[in-house]
Every structure is written in C-alpha cells, then in structure tokens.
Amino acid sequence: MEDRVYIFDTTLRDGEQSPGVALNVMEKLEIGHALVDLGVDVIEAGFPISSPGDFESVSTLSRELRGVTICGLTRAKREDIECAGEALKPAERPRIHTGLGVSDQHLEHKLRMSRDQALEVGVNAVKLAKQFTDDVEYFMEDSGRADPQYVYRVVEAVIDAGATVINVPDTTGYTFPTEYMALIRGIIENVPNSDKATFSCHCHNDLGMATANTLAGVVGGARQVEVTVNGIGERAGNTALEEVVTAFAIRKDFFNVSTNIKLAKLMDISRLVSRLTGMMVQRNKAVVGANAYAHSSGIHQDGVLKDRLNYEIIAPELVGAARSEIILTARSGRHGVKHRLAEMGFSFTDDRFERIYEGFLRVADTKKEVTEDDLKELVDTVK
Ligand SMILES: [Zn+2]
C-alpha cells in the first residue's frame, strides 16, 4: 500500500515573510479556507508572539477553520509557547511548532549556547508545549549545515520529551538532494526512537533545489512536507506546494505515496495567493505558470496535436489549468495554424489554406504572437 505524505502549508507564516508581502486577517482567512478546500493537512497560520496581527490571525483561523490542524510557530521560549497556546485555544486540532538551531553556526553566532545547553532548552520547550497540546512539532533550524551526530542526539531527546513531528529544515537552501535524503535517512536509521515521530522536510530555494530536496527527503523517509503556494517565502522562497504534489501524482510509479490534495484546485489557489500577496507567478513557473501548457515551436505544436504526451507530461486539466495552448508565432507550422483555424470554425481547400499560411508567415514576422483577430483578417482578405 502507498504511504500517505502529509502536506504542511506555511504560506501564511514562512510565505508571508516574503519581502514586500503583508496579508491582513481577512486575507489570511480567505487563503485559509482555500487551503482547507485544497486538502492540506496542516496550516501554519503564523508566529503568535511576533505581533498582535499574527496572534489574531492564528486565533481567528483556529476558530474559523475545521477539518485541518492549525499550527503556531514559537521560539523555544516560555513566553512564545504560552502565547501560541493561547492563540490556538479555539482550534479543533492545535499544533505548536517550536525548536531552535542545531548547526554550530547558529549555536555559536546566533544563540550563543553550547550544544548541551541548546539541547536542554529544546527539551524543556517541548515539555512546556505538551501542556497545551499533544501535537508538538520540533524544528531543528539549519539542520542542513549541522553535525549529524548532534542532530541525532537532539532528535532522540525531543521525541522522548513528547515531540511527534520532527522538522529538519534546510534553512539556508544549502544542501544537495542526495545529501538531504541521506540526512533524513540517517536520522531515521540512527535514532533509536525514530519510529515514534513523523519526519518533515522544510527546504528553501536559494540554489533552486527546494522541490528536489523535499522530494529527496520523502525518498529518505520523511512523511510530511512543508510548502507554500507558488513557493513564496524569504529570499528565493520555500518549496512550492503545487510542484511537490504534482510530482507525486505524475511520478506515482517512483514515489508510491499519496496526499489528500485535490490537484484540480491548484491553479485557482495559485491565482488567489498571487493576487492577495501581489507576488506575480513567473510565466515559466512549473505547474502553474502561464506558459506551463503553451507550445510555440512548430515541431512541438505538431507533436502535441498528434498526441499531447509527445511534449506534455501534465494534463492541464489535472491541475485546473485551461487546455494546452498553441501559441501562433513565426515558428509555428501548418499543423498549428490549421488547428487554430479549425477551432475558430474554418476549414479550407489546400490551395486556399496555403495562401492563408503564407499571409500568416508575413504577419508573424512583424509581431510576437499572431492572434485570432489577425487570423480572421487573413481569412477575410486572402481569397
Ligand atoms: Zn523556512
């Protein structure tokens, strides 16, 4: 039987930390409802102690959303955890996400603690969080650059203290997929109580490898992925939700895992998040980009029209996108032009079509894309 991978969406927390993005509570609630409809398992709704607005967002989403776990982020500090516990009170399924750094870089230059001190702080944070909810997730910031031997010690101790999900963040987007896979696999194999927790991938896209690393982590045994819609987030962003779940679907033969996500809603939520955050989706973005199902060269158009699978591995309707698009340009061949004319309701003798096609090439040389209006004009003028 295939394994279930849990989708932890952090669009409203890590995603909202994108430079230039600020969502109000009503906008967060609108995205929250869309995430529930999409089928995510966990919504990280904010970092309650960071601001009154974040507190209000976490508490409003906790009150309004059902059928989903609502998560609040904290540092490994008493006041953070108590604040998150308060904000999450109305939630049907509350989760506290606490933790601290594990790399020597973070221990020495940010936390100014020894490894043993940091371990104790982390364990105490988990124990305190457990007083508010059974569902405690522990993050080990900068795991990607940490000494694995120390990571194993931390994981064992925080699971003993009651953490049920262990987040292994590649905070700086530094790792390579095979390394990240080995990190997750190493934790699962070397930590004696690892069977008592679910391991979670949290990757950043500084080197463009967030999706690859997350997928590699799942191969290594992780069963939760932390993602954002459109991959928004600090710096180069987080792992894109739509890329990961679509990869699971298209490469089911390889991953053999399932999620609860309704793929056909991906395009709509991508547009919603883009509109409310003001962060445009690049045209060539995987899965949800405007050009993701558009074909421009003659050879590709001919191939797709003969059989979509020649050049398209994702059926646009699978992710809620409009049908494949044939973009008419100077590189388009006869097949693409004839196809578009047929869609517009025209069919011609070979001779007449040949004259229209010659006219098409002349128009195409003067502009980036030939529109249906241009074709209509050609049909009217070329006899
Ligand atoms: Zn992050």
User: How close is the Cα of 52 to the center of ligand 1, in Å?
Assistant: 21
User: How close is the Cα of 317 to the center of ligand 1, in Å?
Assistant: 31
Please report, as a single letter, which amino acid is at residue 181: M
Q: Give the model confidence (pLDDT) of 53-111 as tens digits.
A: 999 999 999 999 999 999 999 999 999 999 999 999 999 999 999 999 999 999 999 99
User: How close is the Cα of 172 to the center of ligand 1, in Å?
Assistant: 8
Q: What residue segments make up the domains of the chain, in order of their start?
A: 3-277, 294-381
Give the pTM.
Answer: 0.90
Give the pLDDT band (50/70/90) at residue 330: confident
Mean pLDDT of the chain: 94
User: How close is the Cα of 233 to the center of ligand 1, in Å?
Assistant: 7
Q: For position 180, what pLDDT does the model report?
A: 97
Mean pLDDT throughout 154-181? 97
User: How close is the Cα of 17 to the center of ligand 1, in Å?
Assistant: 9
CATH architecture of 3-277: Alpha-Beta Barrel (3.20)
Distance CA(141)–CA(99), nearest Å, equals 7
User: How close is the Cα of 306 to the center of ligand 1, in Å?
Assistant: 43
- Quick check: 199 and 181 in contact, CB under 8 A? no
Distance CA(255)–CA(136), nearest Å, equals 27
Q: For position 150, what pLDDT does the model report?
A: 97
User: How close is the Cα of 171 to the center of ligand 1, in Å?
Assistant: 6
Q: For position 20, what pLDDT does the model report?
A: 87
Q: For position 306, what pLDDT does the model report?
A: 87
Whether domain 294-381 has CATH 1.10.3710: no
Q: For position 300, what pLDDT does the model report?
A: 86
Q: For position 24, what pLDDT does the model report?
A: 95
Distance CA(246)–CA(220), nearest Å, equals 19
User: How close is the Cα of 98 to the center of ligand 1, in Å?
Assistant: 13
User: How close is the Cα of 202 to the center of ligand 1, in Å?
Assistant: 6
Mean pLDDT throughout 150-168? 98
Determine the angle formed by the axes of helices 350-364 and 372-381, rounding to 10 degrees: 130
> CB within 5 A of ion ligand 1: which residues?
14
Please report, as a single letter, which amino acid is at residue 113: M
Residue 310 vs residue 118, higher pLDDT: 118
Distance CA(89)–CA(91), nearest Å, equals 6
User: How close is the Cα of 228 to the center of ligand 1, in Å?
Assistant: 10
CA-CA-CA-CA torsion sign (12, 14, 17, 19) = negative
